[in-house]
Structure 1
Amino acid sequence: MKCSTPSLKFKSVLVLAAISLFHLTAIAQEEKAGASAQELADKLANPVASLISVPLQNNLSYGIGPFNGSKYTINVQPVIPFKLSDNLNLITRYIVPIVDQRDITGENTHQFGLSDATITAFLAPKSEKIIWGFGPAFLVPTATDKVLGTQKFGIGPSVLIMHQGKGLSVGLLANHIWSVAGNQDRADVNQFYVQAFLSHSYKSGASLGANVEITQNWDGNTTMVSLNPSIGAVTKLGSQVVQFALMPLIPIIGPSEYKPDWGLRAVLAFVFPGS
C-alpha cells in the first residue's frame, strides 16, 4: 500500500519546531536563566496553574488503518485562569483541533477542517504540595466535516491530582464525557480519558518527562494507549516567553483501524508569566 503524507508545510512546521527546540535548549542551558525559568517550567507542567498560556500542539501520525493513512492535527489550547478568591481559582482550558487527514476513510480520500472542541473548567484550591482540581468537561460539536466529529454535545466530570516540588511534577488527569444531545443518527459518546504524567525541570528552563495517555470508548469497545516521552525548554523569542517541547508518540494498544504505526508531537506554547 502507498504511504500518504501530509502537505509539505505541515511537515515543515514539525521540522522547524524540532530544530528550534534543540537550539533553544542549548541557549537556555548556556544562559543559565535561573529559578524563574524553572518556576515557569514547573507551572507549565501543572494543568491548573494560575498562568495564561496558549499552546499550539502539533500532532503527526503515520500508518493509520488499512490504507496506511496519515493525520496531522494542530490543537489550539489556550489556558485562562480566573481568581475566585484568595484561595480558589477557576482554570479554564480549551482544545480546538484543526485536522488534515489522508487515506483514513478510504484510499485517496482527504478531509480538512475543524474537529470537535473540548472545554474544561477546573475549580482549583491553592496548594503548594498536593495539587488538585475538579470540574465539568464539555464536548462541543464544532467539526466542519461529519467525518471529523461526533455531531454530539457532551458533558462529564474532570479531575486532576498531582504532587509538585521544585523541579518535579507527577500527576493524573482524567475525564469522562457522555453525549446528551445532537444528531440521533450518530453513535453516542461514552468516552473515558486519563493521562498520567511525570516531568523534571532544570534551572535552565529545560525539562524532561513522559506521559501515558489512555482513551477508552465504552460504546465502541475500543482502547487506545500511547507512551510519550518528552524534552522541552522555556526561553524567549524577543520579549515573548515561550516553551518548546518535542515528543515521539509511541502507540502501545489500539484497534488496527485507528492505531498508527508511529507519531510525533511538537508544541509551541506562548506564556504570559505576568498574568
Structure 2
Amino acid sequence: MRGHIRHTVAVLLLTAALPAVAQEAHNAVNEANNPLTPKITINLQDYYIPSFIDAPGDPEANQFLLRGLIPSDMFGLPQLLRFTLPIATSPDIPSSYVTGLGDLTLIDLFVLPKAGSVTFAAGPVLVVPTATDEQLGSGKWQAGAAGVVVAPQKWGMLGGLLIYQASFAGVDDREDVNLLTFQPIVNINLNDGWYLRSSATWNFNLESGDSYIPVGAGVGKVFQLDRGVTMNAFIEPQYTVWHDGPGAPRWQIFAGLNFQFPIGR
C-alpha cells in the first residue's frame, strides 16, 4: 500500500512539473527568436535568389549577411547596437557576376519599458557606403530611423521591424535612396525546440516606385549549447506575392545560424 501511495505521489508531482518544463522550453525558443533579447548575438544569414521577375538573362544572386547585436546601457538607457555587413554576389549585366562587400548598416535601438508583455524599441539608422563595387551598394550615405515591436504569445511570437532610410551624401551620379522596409515576424512553437516561422521583408522603394512584398514559410530549431550559448538554425523559402516594377526576386531562400551569448561570458 505504501509503495502504491509513493508511486501515486511521484506521478502527481511529475504531472505538475511537466507544464512548467514545457513553458520554460517555450520561453527559450521565443528568446532565441526575439530581436530585442539583450544578449550578445552573432547572426550568419544568407539569401539565395535563384530567379528574378522581368530580369534579362535569368540571373541568380546571393547575399550573405554578417550581423551582430551588442547590448549597451550608454546614457543610462538600455540599448541594442546592431550592425549588418553583406557579402554579396550580384549580376553584372549582361553576362557576368561580381562578388564583394555591400553597404554597412548600423542601428542603435533604445529599448522602451514594457507594456505588459509587449516590448518596443526605436532608434537611428546609419548606412555607410562600404560596397566594393557599384553593383553591390548605393554609393550613398544614408540616415533614418527604425522601430521594433515584439509580442510573445502562448503559442509563439508576433513582431515587426520597420526601417526608413534616405540618402544625404555620396556619389553625385548615383540614384538617391528613399527606402522603407517592413519585416513582419510570426513564429509558432512546436516541441523539442522546433518552430515554424515567417519573416520575409517587404521593400518599398519610394524613390523609383519599384517595390515588392514576399511571404515566407519556414522551419527552425533552437539548441542549448554549453556555457549558456543558444544556437538557432532555420531555413525559410520566400515567394513574392506582389510587385511593382522589374527586378524583384521571384522567390528566394533565407537560411541562417544565430548564436546568442550570455552577458559576461
- Regarding TM over 0.5, the answer is yes
- Structure number with greater CO (CA < 8 Å, separation at least 6) is 1
Work out the number of aligned pairs and report it.
Answer: 240
> Which among 164, 167, 173 is matched to residue 176 of structure 1?
164
Q: Secondary structure at the match of 1:39?
A: helix
User: Using the alignment, how far apart are the partners of 1:121 and 1:196 within structure 2?
Assistant: 20
Cα distance between partner residues in 2 of 1:46 and 1:176: 21
Q: Distance in 1 between matches of 2:225 and 2:159?
A: 30
Gaps of 5+ in 1: 1-32
Asked if 1:137 is matched to 2:125, the reply is: yes
Structure 2 contact 26–156 (Cα < 8 Å) conserved: no
Aligned partner of 1:83: which letter? D
Is the 1:43–1:51 Cα contact (8 Å) retained in structure 2? no
Counterpart CA distance in 1 for 2:143 and 2:220 is 32
| 1:121-165 deviation line (CA, Å, top 9, x unaligned) | 110024251110110011110100011111111101111123123
Partner of 1:252: 241
Secondary structure (helix, strand or coil) at the match of 1:169 reads strand
Q: Who wins on radius of gyration, i.e. which is larger?
A: 2
Question: What is the rounded CA distance, in whole Å, between the counterparts of 2:75 and 2:85 in structure 1?
Answer: 29
Q: Deviations over 1:21-66 (max 9, x none)?
A: xxxxxxxxxxxx9655533321232222212111111110112211
Moved more, 159-168 or 172-181: 159-168
1:99–1:133: structure 2 CA closer, same or farther, 3 Å change rule? same
Distance in 2, matches of 1:274 and 1:205, equals: 22
CA contact (8 A) 1:66 1:257 kept: no
In the alignment, the residues of structure 2 paired with residue 44 and residue 137 of structure 1 have an alpha-carbon distance, to the nearest angstrom, of: 24
For residue 263 of structure 1, the aligned residue among 215, 238, 252 is 252
2: CA distance between counterparts of 1:204 and 1:36?
Answer: 11
Identity %, equivalent residues: 23
Question: Which amino acid letter does the alignment assign opposite residue 120 of structure 1?
Answer: I
Q: Tell me the C-alpha RMSD between the 2 structures.
A: 2.2
Counterpart contact for 1:242–1:270, Cα < 8 Å: yes
Query: TM-score scaled by structure 2?
Result: 0.82
- Aligned match for 2:111, one of 124, 143, 155: 124
Q: How far 1:84 sits from its partner (Å)?
A: 4.8
Per-residue deviation, 1:274: 4.8
Q: What letter matches 1:173 in structure 2?
A: L
Aligned twin of 1:217: 205
Question: In the alignment, what sits opposite 2:232?
Answer: 243
